[in-house]
Structures are given as structure tokens and as C-alpha cells.
């Protein structure tokens, strides 16, 4: 971007970190120095966001972030160890550990040895994924908000709009869903919607009269939401000047896009903290487990945090269904579309849509960033 404030702050923080090397050892008979206080693993701003949105004290937030990082690593190993018996997993904030669902008790000891708790279930993750795929082939009425594989209930969770739950078309869809596999039904207060907005200012990019938010920098441009613009559409930056062009875009079905940028603009591995937290350096894209804390940055409502509620969810917007989405308890509003979801220093995805707002609360879905990178052959710009 043309502004240097976010980049300057991030680079300064990075150089400061690199400059703090170990002190030279003193003479053998020198008196021992007092042990310095422990360095926080997260910024004061991030800790404050977790306090405000999740009700955590700074100490609780620090401990949770450490536990979630460990759970992310355990999840990779547990999935491989369990093999066909893997039934999904989620982070349990109460225990600070990953819970792994298994269809075979014979795998419990080996998975527990990795540092996870286990739960025996009936259906494997592969079975639930197949059931969800059969639902994806159905045409859903507007009273159905979406569906996803829920490892906690070991089912495909179908979410219906509360006011439409008894509508004949909704009831018929639920019956068809149950015929295709294990299904549970949940309710949402309102139908999901995308978060694009008219031109109202802030720190956005613009396509026509639509304002959206930048997701993550990749080499050559950035990724964002597909509903913000079609391939070939011109993009203007926060200052109104020509910024780039949509090189690829998919919506509905997916909700992702790639924008290449013109000379005079450059990419940085930074997610804006909007003063609530220092700008976040992006160091990778390791996927956070269900139950982990996660934060979102967008041009309308700035910085908010919550938890990962579910993965591989199909969201039924008025424009059509979008697949393989991740559901969160983070709020968002119009203009936040395309903005970054990040967990710690790991990129997670770009904001798609949801229901509610940041005054009364709501839920938001994002398109996972690794899927976007793979689709367009992009490389995430990391610190």
C-alpha cells in the first residue's frame, strides 16, 4: 500500500526483535543478574481484544494462546496417527487441550500419547464429509442458512433461520438431509449475508461503488472475497488511485479472489490492528483447530476476536451456496468483506459474510486462505 505507517510499525517491531540478541557473558566470578520478567507472548492490544470479546484476563489469554499453538501441532499428528478412525477434532478451552474423535478405541492410547484427549464416536470424518457432499448437491431454500460437519456432535449440522424453521421447503430440505446421513439441526437468528458495502470511506479498496477489505498480501498482489469483484474489474486503493485488477474471482460456489497490484504499490506481510493491537506480522498459514481463538481485521469494524465454531461449512447466501467455509463467533459488518482472519501470526482466511453486527453480536464465515493460495498458485507474503 502507499501508506507507510503500518509497514513502518511492523518493520520497526521486527528489527527491534532481531536486535535483542543475548547479552555477552560476564566474568566467571560476576554476581548473577536478577532474572528478567517474562516477556508476554502477545501484544497488550491483542490481550485486550481477547478480554473484551472472550472475557479472558491477560494471564488467561496468554495461556490460551500457548495452548492453541500446541493444539495446532497436535492436530496434524493426531490426524495422521488415527488414519481411517479419525472423526474430527476441536480445541477445548476448559482443559486447554485438543479433543480428537475416534471410531476405534484401539487408536486411543497412541493419540493420547501425542497430548490430546479422545472421544469415541460412531462416524469417521470421512463418512461425515461424504454426507455433507451429498447435501452440497441439493438445492437449498433461503430458510436454510447452511450446513457443516460438526465433530462435537459427530454429525452434519444443518442451520435453519429461526423464523423459517416450519416452512414447508425448509422441512423438506431437512428431511432430504437426514436421508443422506447423520444430521442435527440448529437455528440462526437471521439469514447470512455478504459484507460488501457502498463507498463510505475508511481504509478500504474499491471496485465500482463497492467497498471491501484487503485480506492477505501475496507475492504480486493480495487475496480477498470473490463477491467483491469479478475477474477483470479495476481496483482503486484507499486514496482513490488506481491500485490493481481482479485476476481471478469465484462467487458463489466459492468466495475468493486474487487482485494483482500496479507499480507504485507494494505488498507487506501485515494485518492492520487499527490501534486496538499493534499491526500483526504474518508468518505462515497453519490452520487453527475448531475452538481456537481467532481475530478479524476489516475496514468497517476494524479489529474483533472470537472463536472458530466449525469448518467445511456450506453457507446459503441469497446469491447461491458457498462451500468449504469456516464459521466463527467474530462479528462483522458491511465493508469488512475480504478482510483478514488471523490466529496468532498465522493467516486463516478472508471474510465472506455472516449475520448480526458488532453492536449486538453475530457470527461470520471466512474462506480458508490455503484454498485460495492453491487455487491461484499464489505464495503468501510472510515475515
DSSP string, 25-90: P--TTSPPPPPPPPPPSS-HHHHHHHHHHH---HHHHHHHHHHHHHHHHHHHHHHHHHGGGEEEEE
H helix intervals, 101-227: 108-112, 125-136, 168-179
Q: In a 10 Å sphere around its CB, with 0-12 CB exposed, 13-18 middle and 19+ buried, how is residue 209 labelled?
A: exposed
Alpha carbon 159 to its chain centroid, in Å, reads 19
Q: Which residue has the cell 440448529?
A: 186
Cell 509497514 found at: 7
Residues tagged active-site: 227, 255, 337
**Which among 340, 304, 345 is positioned nearest to 72, based on CA atoms?**
345
Cell digits of residue 48: 485486550
Check residue 131 and report its DSSP letter: H
User: How far is it, in rounded angstroms, from Cα 158 to Cα 183?
Assistant: 7
Integer Cα distance of 355 and 49 in angstroms: 21
Q: Which helix (H) or strand (E) holds 375?
A: helix 369-376
Amino acid at each position: 500500500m502507499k501508506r507507510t505507517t503500518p509497514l513502518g510499525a511492523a518493520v520497526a517491531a521486527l528489527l527491534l526483535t532481531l536486535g535483542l540478541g543475548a547479552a555477552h557473558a560476564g566474568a566467571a566470578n560476576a554476581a548473577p543478574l536478577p532474572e528478567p520478567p517474562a516477556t508476554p507472548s502477545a501484544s497488550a492490544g491483542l490481550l485486550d481484544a481477547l478480554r473484551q470479546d472472550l472475557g479472558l484476563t491477560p494471564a488467561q489469554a496468554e495461556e490460551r494462546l500457548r495452548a492453541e499453538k500446541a493444539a495446532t501441532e497436535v492436530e496434524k499428528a493426531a490426524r495422521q496417527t488415527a488414519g481411517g478412525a479419525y472423526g474430527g477434532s476441536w480445541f477445548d478451552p476448559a482443559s486447554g487441550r485438543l479433543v480428537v474423535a475416534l471410531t476405534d478405541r484401539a487408536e486411543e492410547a497412541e493419540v493420547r500419547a501425542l497430548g490430546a484427549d479422545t472421544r469415541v464416536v460412531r462416524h469417521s470424518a470421512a463418512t461425515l464429509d461424504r454426507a455433507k457432499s451429498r447435501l452440497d448437491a441439493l438445492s437449498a431454500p433461503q430458510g436454510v442458512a447452511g450446513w457443516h460437519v460438526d465433530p462435537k456432535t459427530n454429525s452434519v449440522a444443518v442451520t435453519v433461520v429461526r423464523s423459517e424453521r416450519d416452512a414447508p421447503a425448509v422441512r423438506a430440505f431437512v428431511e432430504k438431509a437426514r436421508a443422506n446421513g447423520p444430521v442435527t439441526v440448529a437455528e440462526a437468528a437471521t439469514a447470512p449475508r455478504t459484507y460488501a458495502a457502498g463507498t463510505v470511506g475508511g481504509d478500504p479498496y474499491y471496485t465500482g461503488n463497492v467497498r471491501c477489505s484487503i485480506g492477505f498480501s501475496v507475492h504480486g498482489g493480495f487475496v480477498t472475497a470473490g463477491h467483491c469483484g469479478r475477474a477483470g474489474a479495476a481496483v482503486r486503493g484507499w486514496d482513490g488511485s488506481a491500485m490493481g485488477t481482479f485476476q481471478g474471482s469465484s462467487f458463489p460456489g466459492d468466495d475468493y479472489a486474487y487482485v494483482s497490484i500496479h507499480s507504485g504499490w507494494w505488498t507487506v506481510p501485515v494485518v492492520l490492528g487499527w490501534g486496538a493491537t499493534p499491526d500483526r506480522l504474518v508468518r505462515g498459514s497453519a490452520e487453527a483447530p475448531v475452538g481456537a481463538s481467532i481475530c478479524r481485521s476489516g475496514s468497517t469494524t476494524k479489529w474483533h476476536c472470537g472463536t472458530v465454531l466449525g469448518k467445511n461449512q456450506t453457507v446459503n447466501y441469497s446469491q447461491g451456496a458457498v462451500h468449504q467455509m469456516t464459521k466463527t463467533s467474530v462479528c462483522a459488518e458491511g465493508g469488512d468483506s475480504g478482510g483478514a482472519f488471523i490466529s496468532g501470526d498465522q493467516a486463516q482466511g478472508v471474510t465472506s459474510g455472516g449475520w448480526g453486527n458488532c453492536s449486538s453480536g453475530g457470527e461470520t464465515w471466512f474462506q480458508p486462505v490455503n484454498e485460495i493460495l492453491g487455487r491461484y498458485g499464489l505464495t503468501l507474503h510472510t515475515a
